[in-house]
Each structure stands twice: as C-alpha cells, then as structure tokens.
Amino acid sequence: MALRNTWMPVVRRFAAGIDIGQQEIRLVALSQRAGSDSSVRLEFIAVEPLFAGALAGAEIVNRAAVGTALRALFAQLPRDIRSHLFRCAMAMPASATMTTSVPMANLAAPHRSFVGDHALAALEPAVMAEAERVAGIERHALAVDWFIDDSPQRSGCVTIAATTRTHLEARMECAAAAGITLTAIDGEPHAALRAMRHAASLELDESDAYAAIWVGDEGVYGWRVADESVVAEMHYPAPEHADLVEALRDLAGEGVRCAVLSGQVELLQSIGFTAADLGDVLGCMMLPFECVPPGDDTLPLRDDLLHEPAFAVAFGLALRGLME
C-alpha cells in the first residue's frame, strides 16, 4: 500500500475567480494539491478591457459585451490550465447583495433542536421569510444563501445573504455565453477580505491583530482581525460615520499591528485620501495586497498585475473555489 501511494500521481485542484469591474474584467486562476494543507499556487492572472457602459452600477446592461470580454479573457489561459476541470466563481457588488445575521432563536421553534441535515432543512422556510422581510422582495424573486455562523462574535446566529434573481441570472448568462459554468457567486467585499486574510497569514504571526481595508466603487470597507477572527467591521460612507477618519478610528479600536490594503486604491483620491493617510489614521504600517507570494519573483506572468491590489476580489473568489 505504501509503495502504491508513493507512485500515485499528485492531484491538484484548480479554481478561477472572475471580477467584473466598470472598466475591465479581472481573472485569477489558483491551484492547490488536493487532500493536503499545501500552499496555494498562482497559475494565471489577466485582465480584459470592458466596453464602456456595459455596466450601470450593479446591473449588467450589455450582456453581449460582458460575454465577449469573458470569452477573450479565458482564451488567454494556457492550454495546460484550460485542460483542467476547475471551479469558477464570480463577484457580486455589495449594493446588489443583502446580508444579515439573525439569532437562531429568532428563527427556530423553541421546542425544536436544529442539529443534522433534516433539522437544517426545516429551518429553511424561516430563513427565506427573514430574507424576504429584510430585502423587501418576494422570495420567488430572490436567490438566497445561508449558513449557521460559528464565528466567536456571531455564535448561535444564522448569516443570510440574498440578491435578486435577475442579478444572478445576468451573470450566469454572460458566463454561459463565454462557455463558462459558474459554481459560486460571492460578494465583492467578502471575496476581498478572504484574499487579504490569506495574504496576512503568509506574512504575519497568528497572534498579530491587523486591519484589512478594501476600496471599491461603493466605498471603503474595513475589518479588524484578531486571533484569526473578524472582531469589528466598517463601511464608509455610512450614516453612523461622520467621515472616513472616524470610521477608521472606530475600526482600529485598541490598535492593530498593520493593515492590508486592497482594491482600487486610486479611488481614495476622490475623498482626499492616500494610502499613507490610512496608515496615519490607523497608526500602523500599510501592507499592499499582492497576488504573488512573498519572495516569489519567478512566475512567468505579467509583473504589473502580480502587484496590483485591485485583483484581491478575483483572488479571493478563486480561493473560495479551492476551499469548497
């Protein structure tokens, strides 16, 4: 048995993340050896310009243009990577996604214990009713995902994410037109956070508290991570914050060792900020997100893209594919 295992081929899982921006589509392909805790390997990274006006906020108004750009983007994949059957995930803007966290006691009947698959299935009608209530949209028009959250700050809660079926179907239709089958849709901020947590795990100690900052079309998102858990989060602009400085100071709390910065950092200029300003407010050094692992300068890929913080969402989406 040991000898046979020695000669068994090493199986790698492949996953791709697709981030549709207002002006371009970004693609990241990752791989990891299956059945192990081996490191994640960046296989490919590319960008394709998008026809002006193809998107209006979260809505895809020119599906043909998006499908054409996706087809051109995937055509750049090397043949040896295209030959693998891999999972593809696409991002959804935060404005098109409703997320809420509800104590399970508010959803479950008091006499029922929700343990096991059958009990979880029995919880689904209450979840759908809550999604309908919060979104203000009838459930038949919603696409809903949910899970029992076991994070320390939300233990015993059910986290619910919902979007309209029209947003979901538009992205699936564009992907299908390019010959791509989507296996997951994820929110942009959550995908970016996943990528930044991965980057932090490579460069920081597990005990280090840090901030993760993502800049997108819909504002600045931030999270404080301590003991490998998200303990605080913020979004600006938002009614509870007078300005970005106040939001960042609330996020930093008792202090963080450093901050990982990703997204379209150039958008900070529109509110009179720079990356250095963020570091000054947070009181720590800023660590720009990069797709390339620390010290790895041998990848035969475009160097300008490897160090581009805007690829955090696509990277995080590909990570999800590897984890599922």
* pLDDT, tens only, 239-291: 999 999 999 999 998 778 899 999 999 999 999 999 999 999 999 999 999 99
pLDDT for 298 beyond 70: no
Residue 152: its pLDDT value, please? 62
Full DSSP string of 183-242:
-EEEEHHHHHHHHHHHHHHHHS-TT--EEEEEEETTEEEEEEEETTEEEEEEEES-TT-S
Angle, alpha carbons 88-92-98 (nearest 5°): 130
Q: What is the pLDDT of residue 2?
A: 40
CB 90 within 8 A of CB 143: no
DSSP 95: G
The top-scoring range by mean pLDDT among 130-134, 153-157, 312-316 is 312-316
Is the model's pLDDT at 222 over the cut of 80? yes
For position 294, what pLDDT does the model report? Answer: 58
pLDDT tens for 37-54 read 778 999 999 999 998 899
- Cis status of the peptide bond prior to 237, with omega within 30 of 0: yes
CA distance 193 to 287: 14
pLDDT at 94 over 80: yes
Lowest mean pLDDT among 35-44, 139-148, 206-215, 230-239: 35-44
Tell whether the model's pLDDT for residue 226 goes beyond 80.
yes
Asked if residues 321 and 89 have their Cβ atoms less than 8 Å apart, the reply is: yes
Task: Report the SS3 class of residue 175.
Answer: helix
Question: What's the average model confidence in pLDDT over 200-208?
Answer: 90
pLDDT confidence band for 10 (50 / 70 / 90): low
Q: Which of 123, 165, 166 is nearest to 147 (CA)?
A: 123
pLDDT of residue 3: 41
Position 57 pLDDT exceeds 60: yes
Give the pLDDT confidence score for residue 5 in this predicted structure: 47
Q: What percent of the chain has pLDDT over 70?
A: 88
The amino acid that residue 173 corresponds to is E
pTM, to two decimals: 0.88
More confident position, 257 or 317: 317
Angle (CA) 110 115 117, round 5°:
125
